[in-house]
Amino acid sequence: MDAAAVKTTLTGLKADQFRHPLDLQATSALRQIPGLDLLIRAAVGLIAEQVFYLDNISSSVLVGPQQLPEIYQLLLDACQILDLEVPQLYVRQHPVPNAYTFAMRGRQPFIVMHTSLLDLLTPPEIQAVIGHELGHLKCDHSVYLTLANLIAIAAGQLPFGEVIVQNLQTQIMEWVRCAEFTCDRAALLAVQDARVVASLLMKLSGGSPTLASQLNLDAFLAQARSYDEATASQLGDMIRQLRTQALTHPLPVLRAREIDRWATTPEYQRLLHPKNSVRQYNGEATFKGEWRNW
């Protein structure tokens, strides 16, 4: 399936319908910290929002109907599928493949994609990245993502910062990794092809513009299964936990495995093919009616 193929438009989609169970658990734990959301929004929201906005309009290219229109169309289509208002999308010159999202205080959110990431990917894979970033917006991840960045700064800059924030840092980084699993699901819902999402993750692991055409997705998925086997023992699991506890993202092979599994579940199939009435328009499937929490 390519980016232009017929897909199900998920009118009325709610975040908890695709949120990963680990994300639910980690988010619940963070919400137990009194006043955390309000503190972040009040203390840094407006300042950070203005800094990022000025930085983007001065150093990046704003995508739109007259600027990189093919990428803009991928954004529009993904927003329609995920039932989201269209955020701003910027393209930035940068040698490190990456994309990120920012949204605070109810203002218009934005997504930034690096040129080196775009150089790696096909249009469907670019749409998967956009879908992943839209997942952060759909699930209102922005507050805790801001906190994660603040903690990283505090640990390195404040006296005894590492000691002060260590416990909170462990908790927030666990949440960040869990949230990424949720956003990979949003990527899958946007492109509706698990192999596209897995291919994106493979390229993030070991891709380059010159190597991309030689990569083998089936071999990468087999590699993910081998990782499962290698960490099945008590020692292997301990090494896995030590390896991942400081990371901001789960390991790419684990993300590929998770999305490959979720694509075969009844939960995913019900989202794409609900029991609600289905009608066609403009070559796309959509539906009306009440959603159920699966």
Please give the torsion angle defined by the CA atoms of residues 165, 166, 171 and 175, in that order, rounded to the nearest 10 degrees.
Answer: 80
Q: Could you give the C-alpha distances from 93 to 96, 97, 99, 116, in angstroms and in order?
A: 9, 10, 12, 7
Torsion-angle region of residue 110: left (phi > 0), alpha (psi -120 to 50) or beta?
beta
User: Please, are residues 36 and 30 in contact by the beta-carbon 8 Å criterion?
Assistant: yes
Q: Could you give the C-alpha distances from 136 to 68, 73, 227, 264, 278, in angstroms and in order?
A: 23, 20, 27, 23, 28
Alpha-carbon distance of 265 to 248, in angstroms, equals 27
Alpha-carbon distance of 147 to 200, in angstroms, equals 27
The catalytic position among 133, 162, 229, 284 is: 133
**Closest among 173, 171, 170, 183 to 255, alpha carbons compared:** 183
- The amino acid that residue 69 corresponds to is P
Q: Is the dihedral of CA 154, 160, 164, 170 positive or negative?
A: positive
Q: Could you tell me which residues come within 8 angstroms of residue 290 by beta carbon, excluding any fewer than 6 positions away?
A: 12, 276
Specify whether 133 is catalytic: yes
3-state secondary structure of 8: strand
Sequence-ordered alpha helix ranges (H) in 158-265? 161-191, 194-206, 217-230, 234-244, 252-262
State the catalytic residues. 133
